Amino acid sequence: MSATSLSAPQVSPSAGNAPAPLGGDTDTVHWVIGDTIDHLPRIFDDGITLSVMRRPISDEIAASLDGLMRESRSLEWSWRGPADDAMRADLARQLKATQEEALVADVCLMAEAIAYLFDAPQIGVRLRKLDSAMCPRFHVDNLGVRFITTYAGAGTEWLPDDAADRRGLGAAHPDKPDIVRDPERIQRLSCGDLALMKGSGWIGNAGRGLIHRSPPGQRLILAIDPG
């Protein structure tokens, strides 16, 4: 996958490419998930708050991850600026080990692709190794959009709108209702999936940001914020 391959034209919903509902009224479907790159630009469609390209972790990246996840050292790398050679060099210095070159290459590819897709001269990038859930409570991001992929461990969990009660969002309080209406409908991205999630800051999406949370356990995640 190249950065320019993310410039696939936007696809209008039709019987052939509309996402299949997980349950409830089909009018409430606000996600699209598939195996090809053209699913990611669907985040620009009105009403879509989650677009996902399924992607298994390659053997080369898995080999990069093996030693990193077994090491006791922590990892919390961040970058703010262009997706360029300076970013690549900074990440390579952080990871240090030559066997992690495949991971460096993939992180940089993801950063370049997101910068290209959103025409963003600067991006915010975070690569974190977590031993516990970063955001264990279901919530909505206040930003416009975020890219996320999980390299190791469990993927991000999310809720269809009709399986959630938005009145429960925000700080926990005894008077608030439970956010989750139906625990059996909690969804989870797979390790390796590439996902774009709209927040409440996306123009025209106030009050409709994707409801999601971090699962427990050790994980390695990459998050990219364009702009």
Supply the pTM of this predicted model. 0.86
Question: How much is the pLDDT for 108?
Answer: 97
The count of C-alpha atoms lying within 13 angstroms of the C-alpha of 91, restricted to the half-sphere facing its C-beta, is 26
Rounded to whole angstroms, the Cα distance separating 151 from 125 reads 15
Single-letter amino acid, residue 89: A
**Top-level class of domain 29-226:** mainly beta
Span 75-100, mean pLDDT? 91
At 53, the pLDDT band (50, 70, 90 cuts) reads: very high
Task: List the chain domain ranges.
Answer: 29-226
Q: Is the pLDDT of residue 172 over 90?
A: no
Distance CA 200, CA 151 (A): 26
Distance CA 105, CA 92 (A): 9
182-210 pLDDT, tens digit each? 999 999 999 999 999 999 999 999 999 99
CA distance 84 to 112: 8
Among 10-24, 48-62, 66-80, 102-116, the range scoring the smallest mean pLDDT is 10-24
